[in-house]
Structure 1
Amino acid sequence: MNFSQLRDQRANGFRQLRFEPGLEAHYRRVRDEGIRSRARPVSASALALFLVYTLLDSLMLPPAIARDTIAVRLMVTCPLIIGVWWLSYRDIRDDHFVKIYALAYLIGGLSVVGIIGLARLENHPLPYEGILLMLMFGYFVMGIPFRTVSGASLMVIVAYLWVESATGLGTHQLMVNGFFIGTANIIGMVGSWLSEHRQRAHFLDRQMLNASKQQAEQENQRKTRLITVASHDLRQPLNVISLILENLTADGLPGEQQSLVSRLKSSVSHFNGLLASVLDISRIQEGMISPEPTRLCAWQVIRQVSETFSEQAQNPGAQVIIHKPTPGSGVLADPQLLHRVLQNLVTNALEHSDATRVDLRAHQEDGKLCFEVQDDGRGIDDGALEQIFTPFFRSNLRQRSCPGLGLGLAIVRELTGMMAGHCSVSSLPGQGACFRVFLPATPAPQTTDSVSGAVVPPSAHSPSLMVVEDHDEARHWTCETLSSWGYSVRGVASAEQAITRWGTSSNAILVSDVHLPEMSGDALYDRLFARKSVRGGILMTADTAIPQGYDSERRLWVLHKPLIPMRLRAAITQLDRLAD
């Protein structure tokens, strides 16, 4: 049943101890399973009790009577209890076991009636406390369903009154005994009804909680799918726009049109940043990001961030200065998340502080590796410092000077926390700001492949590039961009065409979309790499669930769309330097 049906069931109530048919069947399955588990300790305690009564019979009753009562206890009641305990571990249906359990209660009660009758026949009356004890067990200890235990108890009481009457108990005493036993039975019925009603209420609460949890999980899945689809469907056209702009030059245009081209590039770059921020914060809130920490060289991390900004001009005249850390300095972090953190900090300094210089450095401090991004901008006032990492917070000055959503620094804090680190900021108005990111320090890896150093123009010995992209416009502009950089490029629309047109031995690099119609880009690369048709590869994807990064063993890059031309070019340069 769904949550609304369960809510209707609660509103309608269940005074008759019945749910709607579908829920009732589920409740009985759960209840019967619980009764089977409960029967084991109950059987053990009942067996111990009857053995104690057997001992008391031998000590307190005349031998002639004790012989008969002990025989009933040892040959009927105790084997019955042992049988119930044994059956609780057997492979029988729970509902069948509950019926046997209730029948055992009835037979046990009748055996007590029989013992009282045997004593009465020998003119040695026994009190009816044994019947009261059986009622207590049935209603409060055994946990038998209300209707079943009520019917069985009534049969035991009727049998007892009949035996007392048949063996000559006086009418007055019979009425007194009947009154007390009947009263005990009513009390037991009320207690049993309340107990089952409470159990049903708890069961209904659990079902509503589970339904609510399942509903929330389904809603999260829908949000996750929406974020994934939105990310893919927005990144794909933006990738085409970015590649077109990479090929768009303002040379030879009138001054006004040159300004329009520059503004267009700046606007698209800004929109890419906004989209990335919105999607990042959404993925963080939905728990879609799972860090994969690895040992990284601090110097190479800094150089990669520097290269991302080397061809950008967010603020004319601004420059990013990197400082080489102590040799061997390393950090334990997710490479893509750390890159995003430092990229956001540098972008914040360039776009929102009017800085002309941004210094990026790393050093060890108290067992942590501290990355510092320091600028010479206008600084941050005390009021803003307290809220600077809050989502959607933007100071009045920042709102006037530069549009944005106020998510960049919130993403920095969230991603840093995911990597077992923390961040801080210090600033004085008019004297710039210094952001610090502290992450676990570790020795730098011995060898680390990365995109580092200046981008080297293609030479006559540079490899050719094969672009595999089923999106026609994206394939065209990817080829145009690579050709404008001086590479020899061929473009095909499918993996099958790439396999057919590629030779058995080629000094080439594969540039492929991940999601292709008949074969994934990853599988295509593995096939070509195995037959030595490629020396390396770059997989492009708009699916941000696939992590970016470089696999040195496979010589394979994964880059997210929209492609940052600088990163694409640097990745190709690195693969170009690899030996055959």
Structure 2
Amino acid sequence: MSTPPELVPSWSALPPDARLQLLDTAFLRVRNGCLIMPVLGLPGSAWLGALGLWPQSITLWWVAALCLAGVAWYVWRLWQRDRPRLAHTGDAALLAIWLRRVPALAAVYGALLMSVAACAGPGAPFEMRMAFLSGAMMVLAANATHQSAVLAVYQGFFLSGFAVTLLSVPYVFPEHWLYLLPMYLLFAVFFRNARISHQFFVRNVELSERFRAAKSEAEQALSVKNQFLATASHDLRQPVHAVGLLAESVALRNRDAALAGTLQDLRQGVQSLQWMCNALLDLSRIEAGAVQARLQPVALAPLLHEVATLLGESARARGLALRLRLPPVGTRVQADPMLLRQCVVNLVHNALRYTQHGGVLLAVRRRAGHWQVEVWDTGPGVAAEERERIFAPFTQSHNAARAADADDVGYGLGLAVVARCAELMEAPLGLASRLGRGSRFWLRLRSAAASEAPRGGAAAVAPQGSLHGRCLVVEDDPQAAAGWQQLLQDWGVQVRCAADGAEALACLAQGFAPQAILCDQRLRSGESGFALLQRLQALCPDAALAMVSGEWDSPALRQAEEEGYLVLRKPVPPEHLHALLRQWLPDGA
């Protein structure tokens, strides 16, 4: 069925690039036809030669076909020279010239093609004359599809060829032309087919242009969204970070038993907000292609121990046992350390969130030259029909959603982040589960060079205790600085907060000797937090240092990580911070 005329745009309504594309398609077909025509005449010439027939007109036809092939090639070279100019400037006058040249060349091609039977003459055998004329008509029909990208091109080809056919049939078939002529008049239907084919070309070009425009708008919208998230990331994480610190401090200072439950709900709500904020921003960055995997040998045991330590307090708050089974000392895998840590953290946190009783096991197994990191839980499990889509964004298992607390149901982002990170590292990711018994998520990593040692048994994470020591925090946001100050003091840490480098150096000049330094990366004064951290390291060589930032990726953060500095992303969960300081401060209990 042809496309309704009112739905097909006109040739003049097409953008210049589209018209150039269609003209290029039609011209290519004309050029190829002109170049191939002398070759296609070889079988007929051999036939004439075998019969001892070789009219002088056939020689003239051959010479004309070869000349036309040379002209077509030359004109095509001219087109290749002018086409970039047309694409760049859209010169309407030059395009009009080519819209006359190509149909004219097609008209000569059509006339010469359809004259081959006339050149053979009425003296040739009837079968040969019919074969010549029928073959030419087949070429005329075939070009109705290929040349009709520009209707004027096929129009010139068809009309000239059809005219030659009508005029030559009485000469070529003097005894049968009254019977043959009506039959060949029916070939006019080819022109109607060419119009339909032309409408198809134009319609598809229009749809392609619409798709390109829609794609461009979508990419622009995505770019704006990514730019917004990148700009808002720091400002969004900053208040969430401050609220988390202050909520933890209020809970520690509370002495009213009646408020204990409410404050615990507040802490869990803030923690859920922190995880959701991190997962949403991380997933957005990964899907925007802003994260590239940098594969390198990674020591597996320290990374897993760090994750278990960071999430130990979260497990204890839920009444769960978080157990750790480390691989042999020296085990190394080929991975991106940041992406691997993010995968394991999200898997363990996901297991803790949906496990009501029992515990979670973080373990490593050897599998056919690979190391398989596994997270076991005793949660509700995942139904078989949900396993294919559970790693998609905003997707949750119905059983897990029912098992989770009302204020901790999540938004189905954690496993999506894991899937994207695993894909970037080209690490297989899988799930095995039994309803009512629990689940096992696994991530398989290629083995890197390692020094073997006896495997350690399963170990529980040490409980949280009070801290003792001195810490310097460089933070220019007043709310975040207040959160740092109150929480660290409640933990028993002597803390000094500075808004910029001058205040930090003044603290040192007053005799404060920090054992740990936490420095924000983006300071409002325009000062580089990383440069300040390097300066503080020179003045306090024995202190442990870390960058703290609401951004995910920046040249300063990448440089800091490449030089071996620890980078903490806001919002920093209080339990993670406590576990870190317990390792850093020598007097920590």
TM-score normalized by structure 1?
Answer: 0.69
In the alignment, what sits opposite 1:4? none
Bigger shift: 78-87 or 539-548?
539-548
Separation (CA, whole Å) in 2 of partners of 1:519 and 1:138: 75
Paired amino acid for 2:429: H
Paired amino acid for 1:561: K
Tell me by how many angstroms 1:101 deviates. Answer: 3.9
Counterpart among 193, 196, 207 of residue 194 in structure 1: 196
- Partners of 1:335 and 1:549 within 8 A in 2: no
Counterpart among 475, 480, 486 of residue 474 in structure 1: 480
Kindly indicate whether residue 69 of structure 2 is the aligned counterpart of residue 81 of structure 1. Answer: yes
Paired amino acid for 2:327: P
In the alignment, what sits opposite 1:449? none
- Partners of 1:318 and 1:357 within 8 A in 2: yes
Q: Give 1:335-484 correspondences, 5 Å limit.
A: 335-347=337-349, 350=352, 352-355=354-357, 358-373=360-375, 379-380=378-379, 387=386, 390=390, 391-395=395-399, 398-399=403-404, 403-405=408-410, 407=412, 410-411=415-416, 414=419, 418=423, 419=425, 420-425=427-432, 433=438, 435-443=440-448, 465=472, 467=474, 469=476, 471-475=477-481, 477-478=483-484
Bigger shift: 555-564 or 221-230?
221-230
Bigger shift: 557-566 or 477-486?
477-486
- Partners of 2:102 and 2:153 within 8 A in 1: no
User: What is the aligned-residue identity percentage?
Assistant: 17
Q: What is the CA deviation profile of residues 406-446 of structure 1, one whole-angstrom value per residue up to 9, with x for unaligned ones?
A: 737744873575352334456686xx746352422414668
Tell me by how many angstroms 1:85 deviates. Answer: 2.1
Q: What SS does structure 2 have at the residue aligned with 1:93?
A: helix
CA distance 1:400–1:509, shift in 2 (3 Å): closer
Q: What SS does structure 2 have at the residue aligned with 1:92?
A: helix
In the alignment, what sits opposite 1:47? 38
Equivalent pairs counted in the alignment come to: 540
Q: What is the CA deviation profile of residues 258-282 of structure 1, one whole-angstrom value per residue up to 9, with x for unaligned ones?
A: 6654543343223323444555666
CA distance 1:97–1:138, shift in 2 (3 Å): farther
CA RMSD of aligned residues (A): 5.5
Q: What SS does structure 2 have at the residue aligned with 1:81?
A: helix
- Partners of 1:542 and 1:562 within 8 A in 2: yes
Paired amino acid for 1:79: C
TM-score normalized by structure 2?
Answer: 0.69
Q: Give 1:232-381 correspondences, 5 Å limit.
A: 232-248=234-250, 250-251=252-253, 253-257=255-259, 260-277=262-279, 291-312=293-314, 314-315=316-317, 318-347=320-349, 350=352, 352-355=354-357, 358-373=360-375, 379-380=378-379
Separation (CA, whole Å) in 2 of partners of 1:403 and 1:270: 6
Separation (CA, whole Å) in 2 of partners of 1:567 and 1:400: 22
Q: What is the CA deviation profile of residues 159-193 of structure 1, one whole-angstrom value per residue up to 9, with x for unaligned ones?
A: 7878999x9x99x9997786566544x13323322
The runs of 5 or more residues in structure 1 that have no matched partner are 1-8, 447-451
- Partners of 1:314 and 1:350 within 8 A in 2: no
Q: What is the CA deviation profile of residues 314-370 of structure 1, one whole-angstrom value per residue up to 9, with x for unaligned ones?
A: 537655343443223333444344434443454455554344655443232444434
In the alignment, what sits opposite 2:520? 512
Paired amino acid for 2:364: A
Separation (CA, whole Å) in 1 of partners of 2:107 and 2:402: 84
In the alignment, what sits opposite 2:549? 541
- Partners of 1:117 and 1:163 within 8 A in 2: yes
- Partners of 1:385 and 1:425 within 8 A in 2: no
Paired amino acid for 1:85: W
Separation (CA, whole Å) in 1 of partners of 2:575 and 2:559: 16
Separation (CA, whole Å) in 1 of partners of 2:441 and 2:410: 22
- Partners of 1:274 and 1:405 within 8 A in 2: yes
Tell me by how many angstroms 1:82 deviates. Answer: 1.5
- Partners of 1:330 and 1:443 within 8 A in 2: yes
Separation (CA, whole Å) in 2 of partners of 1:338 and 1:236: 25
In the alignment, what sits opposite 2:456? none
CA distance 1:415–1:213, shift in 2 (3 Å): closer
Separation (CA, whole Å) in 2 of partners of 1:351 and 1:129: 80
- Partners of 2:472 and 2:496 within 8 A in 1: yes
Paired amino acid for 1:564: P
The runs of 5 or more residues in structure 2 that have no matched partner are 84-94, 452-460
Separation (CA, whole Å) in 1 of partners of 2:131 and 2:318: 99
